[in-house]
Structure 1
Amino acid sequence: MNRIAQGIVLVLLGAGALSSTVFTDLYLNYVQAGFRPFLIAAAAMLIALGATVIAAEARSVLRGEVPVEPAGCGPGHAESGGHGHGAPRVAWLLLLPVLAVFVVAPPALGSYTAENASTAAPPREEEAHDELGEPGSEGPVEMEIQEFISRAWTDEKRSMEGKTIRLTGFAVPNPEGEGWYLARLQMACCAADAIVNRVLITDRPEPPEDSWWRAEGTWQPPEGDLRSVRDHRFSVETLEEVEDPPDPYE
């Protein structure tokens, strides 16, 4: 692969990163929203570097400073893999992963990861929590699964008990066979460090794997030490299927 082809690869990589951050929210499948400016800057640098390489090589060719050889020509080429700017034709296959970025974008992590990834660990100490819900407000309390789990583990006052709570997440089968999980993945930086927050639901039929649901119901407080519970249970009052959110992580 000659330098012009290398420049094309850089431009395509930059264009792929730029299209997933400027024109869509696809980047939220892989990193936190705060990384967007850095991704845009990196994409712009790749495009600029690729364009510079292409322009410099094109000028050299036009001036006759770089001999243009068809790939595979010349004696001994097959044995040595090419000389100068020539290269085996198979090297052009390196473009396929780059082009795949525009055609097949990897989806966000889902139920497979939630089944196999580590779950959030109980905090060692009790955490301070804000007042549950807005003062004087009626209706269910909207809450992230992350906050629900944190309160269930650490709130010794059990302020969630008896309150109607609304959670949104995706369906995950329970490998142990009892009920299913409503889960959400939490990441600090990127999808590689994601951990699972989940609640166990046993009073509703298991929906399709990876489908997204909004559940309203109540926490089923355990007896004894809150931190000893592996999966906190959620009793469902209403269950509504929803569209996948733009940002699937918490």
Structure 2
Amino acid sequence: MRLRFQAVLLIVIGAGVLRVSLFSDIGLRYVKEGMQPYLAASGIALCALGLLGARRDGLPFRARRQGSDASHRDPAPVHGHDHTRGPGVAWLLLPPALVLLLNAPPALGSYTAARDNPQLVAEYESFETLPARGPVPLSLTEFIARVQQEEQQSLKGRTVVVQGFVTPGEDGDWELSRLLISCCAADAQSLAVTVHGAAAPPADTWVRVVGTWHPHGTLGTTSAALALDAVAVDRIPEPPLPYVDRPPAAG
């Protein structure tokens, strides 16, 4: 691959990274929100390097040289090495760059969640007092923590509102899932709550579930079932931050 094509490749890769990080929120499918500025900076750097290389190589038009063009010849390789070419394997970077530029892959979903062992949430030091009445909006993380850790068992008999995406299970069961990341999608870990009493929507559908804790095991201990008896299941749009487990809006 000649050097001028290396410059074009850098520009394409940089443009793909910028498209998902600077000009849209698509990059949040792959990295945490705090990493997005670094992703954008990488895209800018790649584009800048590509433009510098293109200028050096006279793109898009070759710079006219003094003397006859016919008499110009590329320098012969030195010691059998052609320094006007780069490693051919670099072309393998082109397909993923074009994918980012033209049709970026979706966020991780049920395929990943179904093949991961659900994670235990961190120990909560304390829990805020729940509203005295009405459905309680909770993140999936807090619901799991309250079910298994809260000695006061404040969720007993309470209606909660949680949201996530659908992961099909066995025998018609399904789970409400979220994927949590520390840095990027490569370290994703799943949280899952089994939903009873409602038909399973299609896999990867984002839903808001209104329901009560499914009474199995002992609420407030690790034997408590991570499950809900659904009262209502409503489809919702995929949130801009698919890996950030924030309390959903009740309604």
What is the TM-score normalised by the length of structure 2? 0.81
Structure with bigger helix share is: 1
Task: Indicate how the Cα distance of structure 1 residues 126 and 143 shifts in structure 2: closer, same or farther if over 3 A, else same.
Answer: closer
Task: Indicate how the Cα distance of structure 1 residues 23 and 111 shifts in structure 2: closer, same or farther if over 3 A, else same.
Answer: same
2:18 pairs with 1:23 = no
In 2, Cα distance between equivalents of 1:3 and 1:30: 31
2:102 pairs with 1:108 = no
Which residues of 2 match residues 200-215 of structure 1 at below 5 A? 200-215=194-209
For 2:178, which of 166, 180, 184 is the aligned residue? 184
Q: Secondary structure at the match of 1:23?
A: coil
- AA aligned to 2:141 is Q
- 8 Å contact kept, 1:145–1:168: yes
Which residues of 2 match residues 85-100 of structure 1 at below 5 A? 85=84, 95-100=94-99
Task: Indicate how the Cα distance of structure 1 residues 89 and 6 shifts in structure 2: closer, same or farther if over 3 A, else same.
Answer: closer
- 8 Å contact kept, 1:108–1:248: yes
Q: Secondary structure at the match of 1:228?
A: coil
* Aligned residue pairs, count: 233
How much has 1:121 moved relative to structure 2?
Answer: 2.1
Aligned residue number for residue 156 of structure 1: 151
Q: Secondary structure at the match of 1:99?
A: helix
Aligned structure 1 segments of 4 or more residues deviating by more than 6 angstroms: 87-91
2:52 pairs with 1:48 = no
- Deviation by residue 1:188-218 (Cα, 9 ceiling, x = unmatched): 2111111111111121112211111111111
- AA aligned to 1:169 is G
In 2, Cα distance between equivalents of 1:244 and 1:30: 15
- 8 Å contact kept, 2:13–2:94: no
How much has 1:184 moved relative to structure 2?
Answer: 1.1
Aligned residue number for residue 131 of structure 1: 129
How much has 1:107 moved relative to structure 2?
Answer: 1.0
How much has 1:101 moved relative to structure 2?
Answer: 2.1
Q: Which runs of 5+ in 1 are unaligned?
A: 75-79
State the identity %.
Answer: 35
How much has 1:129 moved relative to structure 2?
Answer: 1.6
Q: Secondary structure at the match of 1:227?
A: coil
What is the TM-score normalised by the length of structure 1? 0.81
- Deviation by residue 1:13-71 (Cα, 9 ceiling, x = unmatched): 11111111222110110111111211111111111111111112229x636599459xx
Aligned residue number for residue 139 of structure 2: 144
Q: Secondary structure at the match of 2:200?
A: coil
- 8 Å contact kept, 1:182–1:198: yes
- AA aligned to 1:194 is A
- Deviation by residue 1:71-106 (Cα, 9 ceiling, x = unmatched): xxx9xxxxx9x9442589997675333222222311
In 1, Cα distance between equivalents of 2:121 and 2:222: 6
What's the RMSD between the two structures over aligned residues?
A: 2.9
Aligned residue number for residue 248 of structure 2: none
Task: Indicate how the Cα distance of structure 1 residues 184 and 91 shifts in structure 2: closer, same or farther if over 3 A, else same.
Answer: closer
- 8 Å contact kept, 1:122–1:153: no
Q: Say which structure, 1 or 2, has more relative contact order (CA 8 Å, 6+ apart).
A: 2
- 8 Å contact kept, 1:122–1:227: no
How much has 1:127 moved relative to structure 2?
Answer: 3.3
- AA aligned to 2:203 is E
- 8 Å contact kept, 1:171–1:183: yes
How much has 1:221 moved relative to structure 2?
Answer: 4.3
- 8 Å contact kept, 1:179–1:203: no
Q: Which runs of 5+ in 2 are unaligned?
A: 67-71, 245-251
For 1:243, which of 230, 237, 242 is the aligned residue? 237
